[in-house]
Structure 1
Amino acid sequence: MALRPPTRAPLLLLGLLTTGLAPLPVPASAPRGFWALSKNLTVVEGASVELQCGVSAPGSVVQWAKDGLLLGPDPRIPGFPRYHLEGDPTRGEFHLHIEACDLSDDAEYECQVGRSETGPELVSPRVILSILVPPKVLQLTPEAGSTVTWVAGQEYEVTCVSGDAKPAPDITFLQSGQTISDISANVNEGSQEKLFTTEATARVTPQSSDNGHLLVCEGSSPALDTPIKVSVTMNVLFPPGSPVIEWPGLEEGHVRAGQSLELPCVARGGNPLATLQWLKNGQPVSTAWGTEHTQAVARSVLVMIVRPEDHGARLSCEAHNSVSKATQERSIMLQVTFPPSAITILGSPSQSENKNVTLSCVTKSSRPRVLLRWWLGWRQLLPTEETVTEGLHGGHITMSNLTFLVRREDNGLTLTCEAFSEAFTKETFKKSLTLNVKYPAQKLWIEGPPEGQSHRAGTRVRLMCLAIGGNPDPSLTWYKDSRTVTEPRLPQEPRRVQLGSLEKSGNTFSRELVLVTGPSDNRAKFTCKAGQLSASTSLVVQFPPTNLTILANASALRPGDALNLTCVSISSNPPVNLSWDKEGERLEGITAPPRSAPFKGSAATKSVLLRVSSRDHGHRVTCSAHSSELRETVSSFYRLNVLYPPEFLGEQVLVVTAAEQGEALLPVSVSANPAPEAFNWTFRGYRLSPAGGPRHRILSGGALQLWNVTRADDGLYQLHCQNSEGTAEALVRLDVHYAPTIRALQDPTEVNVGGSVDIVCTVDANPILPEMFNWERLGEEEEDQSLDGMEKMSKGATGRLRIHHAELAQAGAYQCIVDNGVAPPARGLVRLVVRFAPQVEHPTPLTKVAAAGDSTSSATLHCRARGVPNIVFTWTKNGVPLDLQDPRYTEHTYHQGGVHSSLLTIANVSAAQDYALFTCTATNPLGSDHTNIQLVSISRPDPPSGLKVVSMTPDSVGLEWKPGFDGGLPQRFRIRYEALGTPGFHYVDVLPPQATTFTLTGLQPSTRYRVWLLASNALGDSGLADKGTQLPVTTPGLDQTSGESDDQLPTEQPPAGISEKTEARSEEDRVRNEYAESQWTGDQDTGSSTVSTTAAEPHYHSVRGFIPQLPPMPEEASYSQGFTGFEDEGMAFPGHLYDEVERMSALPGAWGPLYDEVQMGPRDLHWLEEKYEDPRGIYDQVAGDLDTMEPDSLPFELRGHLV
């Protein structure tokens, strides 16, 4: 539906006015004095309009008013270039003409006539001119002119916004030419007054029929002749139709093996067009397809050659596109007809006459099954058995068994197995073979020399084989020991065998064999075969040893080798005797037991063992074989050739030890034949000059001599010896011992409290011993030198001192001592720094400082903290950071080891500005802590606290308390007490006035008292101590000692979590740190800041007579005594910690020298840090550190290198 703006009064739309209007008759309703007036007009922006005004009193002054603004009587109307007056003034025509109207002309107009002699002053009724502004543009979302891709059936929103217009335009949506009814619209104010915009949203549900059509936004307005339009093209995605397989034939799925099958698959519709693929049994076989966009068709053709194994295969065509909810599929099951691929006849076609032949005819798998029949020649034979079994690919295997008796006349006939079936009428499947009926020869014999007659090797012997009858014709084959006898193939081979051809004479067959006897013929069995018939004979041949061989167990001989020579006579007939000799000297050998020999002769073996030396080089060792029956001897010899390269003897030294700056001799023990030609020494890949050098020479025997040995000479020296037969190498290690030097020692070594750290000491030394590392802890006291809880480790040239769960007490100096037995031992110093977060001394509830607020006094606020590394202080006043650039504020910071102080001096203290709560915050990389200090006016003292009994006698009580803030003036204390049952109070002033302990005397034994305490100064009294709480006391009787009182002495319990005293040992431990001090290991709140153990004791001080100096640390005066001075004070740090700042002193003890130089700027004080140079410069021990060198030694720096 179209959107319409709110209904308005009908307006008269005028066309473009180009010239003045003709005089109009005076309407009956014209006001008095006017004969012509326009009514309300409506005009489109850009058109011209004329407002009529005809007056009845010509000559009067007439002008127009626009929204009350007088335009003036000048016809040109200055200031309004598009406005002018038209008409004849003499006739009373004063028409207002406006060219090219725009929105600024939309107003109410009046025609006013001034007073004249002819008439009074007149004002016409108002004429309303309405300007219509058409919308220039429509803004469409999605973007106009674009193509939007939508899925069919899903809902989408389309927004159309018009440009500025008057009145608000109507917006209509068209989907494929049909109006959309589901529209929501809003009219909004435009960019200028009186202009409006319309924003309309349509909900569109595209369908497949909308694909390619337009979605149009149409805007209409009274100011438009035709609506303006914008559009987008709808690309609607929708799934394709189901695929169709076009089967080429009547019976779907029926096909024959070998057939080329082409199956088209077609899917119609869809955007995008369908993607097609073929599957066979669920596996893709084709993913190629084509599309025809004009017909909206996707097509895929599957081409395949049908095979028997395709029977039962499921061919599927799948279609889908990007918006398919599921793949659409069309399937066909193949029914494949195939003949047997082969026919096999099992069994032998050859058989002897009058015996049964059993044959089987088996087909390969076929579908459908085939029938079998047998033919012998042209005669059909009946099978004895026929079976059918399941075959491959859904087919069947047919087997037919045939048994029949063969006769001699069946020889050569064809036996055929034929397969046939109605499904394969045009094809014949056969398998044939030829029968071979055998019958043997009737007689077979050999003619030749009688058996047992001896023949000397080389004698010629003739043998003849004869046979009668046989089918097939006998071949008459000669065999020698079951091997067929053949003639030599190559002409150069000796012709020891002559084999005649087969000759036939009638029914008799013959073949001659002529032999030249040799060893292999001895007792050999010569056989002539014709089918199943055979005849045999044998020969006896005498021969000397066929081969006399000497075997050695080693091919290369070296002195001392055991050489085993074995003489072997391979075969002889008759047997022979073996003997050994060396250069005419008979040698005793070992005869091996008899064993079988080739040619059915006798084998002989005899071994001799020789221990060769260089003297045996070139000698001959001879073996002789003698046959007494043949009167023949055969001999062979072996020549000894002892060649050996250089050899290092067993006494060759492999390791030579030398001291640095001393001499070394690397000896050589070598033997060779011939003698070595050269001795070459190499060190670290470089060859040492044979001619010698400044610190080495090679002796005539090959030994290497070194002097002025350095640690750089340590290592393996390789010796190369060479003669004409080869080379030999030996490695000699020179082990140079030298004193240790420390190469790496990290100083300082830092660790956080509770962490673990290794102090690592790396040395250069030789030898490196497992126990050469030792550690010492430097300190004045015995307990300072303890290494309890620390783990010593070493591996190679690195030693470690491992500290687990580092404590502040472990901070200090450690010494690494390395001693490998070569003097002097090496020592290295390293400092262990234990880092911890700032711990500010912040008494509770508040630290107070009193000063007169008359702008003439000054006040100093003290803040001290402990921490490592250095601390940075910041100050705030009532939570606001303090501007230290103000000349009234002066801050001095002091750093001494782990103790840091900040003194804030406020000049010209003003009650209005400076009486406030100041906060001091100490920060380092590990954390921060703070304390509050209140600057107040001089006032009465605060009440004391902690009143308690410390001793008691029958007539006295010892009291102790903690003073409160003195109000900036000297304070004194007064005790009030009363005896129970006795009216009235007693008052006693404490002397000396500032004392915090007092003994109250004049009491009665066995009496109950109540005691109070208060303080006073020049401005008045404080309240009673402990908020007025009374202290009950009962004195003991005269018969009781002070320790036998029935009543337990009342004591003040410190607040929970806060210790009233801190052991001196905990303070002493913190002196160990590199920075000279850190704070005690009291209870800590690990969640935030550290809680001081003195927090239970309020702390107040005055600034009277203060002179800014380094803040005092009175407890440091007793560091060397282990802080024993604190034990008498009963607290970790005394209450007057800041009272006297001039007592700051340098730290005594072992670490004092580290901080004896101070640099102090205008605000900060820093301690100089000692910096070590390169560790090599500290720990290296060069020639100057060693003992005096020998007179002939070179200076250390001039010794040079060996290579």
Structure 2
Amino acid sequence: TQAQQAFRTEPRNLTVHEGATAVLKCDVLRASGTVQWVKDGLLLGPQRSLPGFPRYSMIGSPKRGQYHLQIEKAQLEDDASYECQASRSESSQAIISSTAWVNVLIPPSKPYFEVDAKTHWVAGKRYAVTCVALDAKPEAEITFYKDGVELTGVESFTVSGSKDKLVNTHARVTVTALSYDNGRQLACHASSPASPRPAEARMTMRVFYPPQPPVIIGLEGEEVKAGSLLLLQCVSYGGNPLATLHWTKNGEVVSISWKEDAEAQKSISTLRLMISPADNQAELSCESANLVSWAALSVSRKITVLFEPAEVTLLGTLTAVEGQDLHLTCSASSSNPPVQIRWWLGHKELNASAIAMEEGSHGGMTTMSNMTHRVSREEDGLKLTCEAFGKGTHFSKSQSDTLTVYSSDNMAIYRCSARNEAKSTISAQIRLKVYFTAIGLKITAKQTEVRRGQTLTLECSSRTSNPKASISWSLGTHRLEGVERPANSAPYGGVSVSSTLALNVTSWHHNQRVICQAYSPVLGEGANTFFQLDVLYPPEFSPEQPTHIQVLEDDVATIPLLVSANPEEVSCIWLHHRELVRAGDPRYHWAHDRSLEILNVTRKSAGVYIVKCTNEEGETQTTIKLNVQYAPSVRPQKDPVLVNLGETADLICVADANPITSGMFTWAFLGETEVETEENTQEDESGLLTIHHVTRAHAGLYQCTADNGIAPPASAGVQLVVQFQPELQKGAQWTKVASRGDGTSTARVNVSGRRHSSCGLHLGKKGFTHGLCKPQHYSVSPPDKAALIRLALAACRSASRPYPSSTAIIGAVALSAMAVDFTYNSVTLEWIPGFNGGLQQRFRIRYRWDHSPGFLYADVIPPGAASFTVTGLQPATTYNFSVNALNTVGESAYADEGAVLTITTAEKPKAKESPTDVDSVEPRIRRLPTYWTVILAVVLGAALMFNMWFFAVRWKRRRGRTGTPGGSTSDGEKIEEKGSSLSAISNSNKYESGEKINAAAQRTLLVDSGSETDSRVYERHAAEASVYYYPTRDFTLPLGPHPQEMRTLDFTQPPVDSHGHVYEEVGDEHVYQDVLPSLLSLPPPLFNHTIPNQRSGWRPSTRSQQVTGRVRDPTDVGQPQKGSDLPFELRGELV
């Protein structure tokens, strides 16, 4: 049969971006009904493709119970609540998942500025800027950036958008305009969870500000040469708008034209001035201003004009007699700076005798030189020169040299000539032919730069060789084919050869050497040269670059980076989850080889790392996946798990681990009993324990342990709660309760039961119920002294769903006894106390052996003890034991409705010493110590005297009022009969003894009293009351004789009214009639049965009962009386 269907995975709230695909997961275990989705209360249907919703579909494997709802291209209308439902089937109830909300994130539209772009700002003033982002969900967060710096003090508010659930955001910020803001960007970013990048609006700030002071360019020094053209530029930088410029010379405007360079943000005015000597010491000024200038800014320069003298004059006569002195004067007009004068005669310089300088025109200086020279005839016709020179005169100097060249021996003709006087000249000649390898071998490239993927053309040529050389190309071990060109004549009688090579270069060719060899087969040798390739290429990652790195959590992860590039200056950035890995983070460390080290790596460090490397040639990126393995952590998917009795329970725990291994989940039941884990399965990171036909034994804590091989394993507890109808404990201790009826005490009704959750508990009294709030122990106080709880009814009802109730009617309870140990002369008994009547109770043991003349009795000391050892017994003898309870009101029937416990003592062990009178010695051995005997005798004597006095006074008072001393018997019977169907329980009555009671005895009591066999109530109370303190006050030991004790060997007549006897066992008078014949013929006893702490003697009554005609027990005085005959503290009705 198919079990109850249940959800393995319920849909959860989901947030999805607009346009993305949303998947709501729904896994149904043992699906037997129809599974479908509900959107805002609307059933979507059970089909895999949902009609009316083209973007909706149900995906997953139905065989695996997967009914996931997929929403493609999510839109605002998909923002709703969803439920997964499985309808009722023959084998299962209908189930409905928890409500899941799909939150569709809508990014805002492109924001815009609410500002007049045509209005220019003025530097130093403040302006308000507003940015608006429309139709976002959730509302957009707007931030302002001025030239990349975030602005503070943003105030924003929202209004409704164009559609429901959409919001418009308005943000405002105050900006202080600065001069350097002109032309910069003011950005508005509208951030939203719906978009990974914020929407952005930008505006260019137009700020008016004054220009900087102008500068003059072109006048490196203050000195200029007359006659030259002076080109000066006045430049004014900055300013918006750009400045206007004009020139003045000595206060007069000489130029008002300028031009603007918007890109360079400057204004330029050029002054063309032809320099004349009159411009010496002139002041040139340039002024600039714009619309926001407070005053015009200017710059001024004075110029110094260098000019030569306009004329040089030679004064004096040049005609002189040989040996005569000539007196000549040479003067130069005004010049700046003053000139120097030299005298030349031919190519010979003459020395001047005196030089004088004076101020001249235009701020210059005039120069005059006097010279005296004595002439000779050799100087006749020579040229005499007066030279004025200054800084403006330039001299040049040159130097030459002669080159001597020696010619080659190749193909040279050597001639040898011989002659003498006898014969004519004869000669002989020879031409030398010289072989030599290539000279001047070199490689040239057609391109100055070559990049990856381009074709490089190389030419290898030799200047000359003889004979012709053969050119070949090689690259490493590879031969390359070149194109050889025709040979040409070359110096030294050789030839010039050349070859070209076209090479398609890659990054591998970088720094490789291309070798050119010119080989001469005649000489058997050649010349070699190489060309080292310089290939420019962007960063490239090595084929050996790892793409997957695996590391354990808390270890050091090293991610190597194998990259090459040309130029080698490479900058790399690392991105993890689209966020920049910053060098300031102490977890990250970059080695010299660019590898990344992550210290104390965590699972958050796992994922894909994107490495972007850049140089001047471009950018390249690669991805490296870091796999961080870590020990599992586990959590229950649902805790606690509630399941009805008999249904199927699914316990699911979810692990967070890496890796997820097969069989990593194990389950264990942490209860006291052993429970088979049954069906243990795993699906991905979830472990599933399925328990079919759940019983109460399955309830408890289950431990799910996940172990993926990385220590330590993780565990989590899942509490399984089995829901069942409530049950009340109906053992003996729950069926009776009593209290004083004088209104001075409280009746406590103890109700105990089993429940699966919080329940309602009610006590009923005469048709009315009392609601109790705590399902443990409760106290109900009577409203008056005669208040009685007639009926106690406890019902437990579940708070979440109705379950059948359980009711217990308080009735009579018995007392059960059992033997725990025996020897050849003693028996140890234990029993479970029953109802105490609301008063302190004590116990009495009655026993006899076969053919005994009557019963022997032993009062249990201390009072309330639930175990006792009877001594002084005969070996190998069968005894019948029974126990009853007494309090100040009366005594109970013997346990188990008169049933007796039959025990046979053990055989007497054989003595190893000399034979002695064992029968006489054994009692003495079992006696109590002497001091205990004395104390017990004193206490018993005092108690006996007190009881005799008390009962005598009570009996005398009653006879004085009613005159019918025996009339209380029938009333006592009524009260006892009524007490058999009512119950109230005292707080001190726990139905347990101060001694340890074994579990078998307790379970026996439960079975005998009609309680559930699996009840553990007694075991719990035994544990809670492991230490019991016996009360020491208000203890009296009634020593009055029992009716059985009144019979002696001279007994002549049994009691007349046996039905009025206090003991239920002697209700049948025929029992005593059968015993009488044997009593008269009994032989004397073989041994003394009187032992310490036991009552073994019988006493006849001191007076006869006149009303009933039988011997009356003095304990009848303690029986309940009717009406006002009872003392006040005993009035009321037994419950």
TM-score with structure 1 length normalisation? 0.27
TM-score with structure 2 length normalisation? 0.28
Q: Which has the higher strand share?
A: 1
Q: Which has the higher helix share?
A: 2
